[in-house]
């Protein structure tokens, strides 16, 4: 019975889209029904341009666009796992974890560049994982760094994350100077195209101001921490280290390519956590990206768990944000 329950629970089926649609509907209406703190996700010139344009439109249109963006990311998570199977079987668990944490976030995700950054990061990961499958490395590197560079025009901190990608290229065992040039060309191509256009339109100064502000690290961490940020940070660290511990306990049963893929996700998640701590002024622009990586780690964790524990694990992952959302609803604005 337990095995049957687990199989039906985590496997994509005809009810997957219904579940995603239900969470998307809740996400759409929660922006109007809950007292959420609206945090500007603007951290680049282009994201500011998009936000200013959307802000002039109706709130319904803004919610619809960002809800559709979240659903797109959720469906791509399933597609990426179908392509690489680093999670043992086709599963909807990471998809629902991503949608749930985005839906029940304390803060309003509308006009949050983190969702755009999460989309570009997932696309870059989908391209980058070809390295661990011994595919066309030159094309893989060009595509990956092209996507990261294009995404950094909307979420500047993808530039920092590109260092993690490059680090794993060095340790892939097949790195040479051609691979470095492929990554470099892919990285500078979007910048060479977009930046001259921005400067030519007379927005060069604004572009530099936004870029300079977004890349400044804030070291006065404790002065800017609120209860909610401490809560999320502690919770994220617990999830990360539990996932890593479980990964090392089971890595002997994994294929080498799966170990590399999962270890890459873990390193990327920890990097995001560190950047988020030192960028508290824009902490919640990291939130969608962090939830994306955490959902992939959690999906791997769930796929290896025995069925008799699955209900307790779901209770932990689902009850925690629900209780915190209730706390936020009662305390925000007081």
Where residue 147 falls among pLDDT bands split at 50, 70, 90?
very high
Instruction: Please write the tens of the pLDDT for every residue from 117-131.
Output: 889 999 998 888 877
Are 287 and 70 within 8 A, CB to CB? Answer: no
Q: What pLDDT is stored for residue 277 in this prediction?
A: 62
Q: What pLDDT is stored for residue 8 in this prediction?
A: 47
Sign of CA dihedral 23, 24, 25, 28: positive
Sign of CA dihedral 277, 282, 284, 289: negative
Classified as helix, coil or strand, 50 is helix
Where residue 160 falls among pLDDT bands split at 50, 70, 90?
confident
What do you get for the CA distance between the two ends of the chain, in Å? 48
Nearest residue to 229 via CA among 267, 271, 282, 295: 282
Report whether pLDDT(204) > 50: yes
Report whether pLDDT(66) > 70: yes
Its pTM stands at 0.76
Residue listed under structure tokens 């950094």? 152
Where residue 146 falls among pLDDT bands split at 50, 70, 90?
very high
């Amino acid at each position: 019975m337990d095995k049957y329950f687990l199989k039906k629970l985590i496997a994509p089926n005809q009810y997957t889209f219904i579940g995603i649609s239900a969470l998307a509907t809740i996400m759409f209406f929660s922006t109007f029904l809950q007292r959420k703190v609206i945090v500007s996700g603007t951290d680049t010139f282009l994201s500011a341009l998009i936000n200013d344009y959307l802000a002039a439109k109706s709130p319904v249109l803004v919610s619809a666009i960002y809800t559709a963006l979240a659903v797109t990311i959720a469906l791509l998570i399933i597609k990426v796992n179908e392509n690489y199977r680093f999670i043992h079987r086709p599963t909807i668990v990471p998809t629902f974890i991503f949608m749930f944490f985005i839906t029940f976030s304390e803060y309003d995700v509308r006009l949050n560049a983190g969702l755009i950054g999460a989309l570009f990061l997932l696309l870059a990961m989908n391209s980058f994982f070809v390295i661990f499958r011994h595919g066309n490395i030159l094309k893989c590197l060009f595509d990956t760094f092209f996507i990261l560079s294009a995404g950094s025009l909307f979420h500047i901190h993808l530039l920092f994350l590109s260092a993690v990608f490059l680090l794993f290229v060095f340790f892939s065992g097949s790195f040479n100077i051609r691979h470095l040039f492929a990554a470099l060309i892919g990285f500078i191509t979007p910048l060479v195209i977009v930046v001259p256009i921005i400067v030519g339109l007379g927005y060069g100064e604004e572009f530099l101001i936004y870029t300079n502000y977004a890349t400044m690290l804030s070291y006065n961490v404790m002065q800017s921490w609120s209860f909610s940020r401490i809560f999320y940070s502690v919770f994220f660290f617990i999830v990360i280290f539990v996932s890593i511990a479980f990964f090392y306990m089971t890595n002997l049963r994994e294929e080498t390519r799966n170990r590399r893929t999962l270890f890459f996700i873990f390193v990327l998640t920890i990097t995001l956590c560190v950047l988020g701590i030192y960028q508290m002024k824009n902490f919640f622009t990291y939130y969608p990206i962090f939830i994306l990586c955490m959902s992939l780690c959690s999906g791997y964790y769930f796929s290896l768990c025995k069925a008799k524990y699955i209900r307790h694990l779901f209770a932990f992952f689902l009850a925690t944000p629900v209780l915190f959302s209730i706390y936020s609803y009662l305390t925000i604005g007081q």
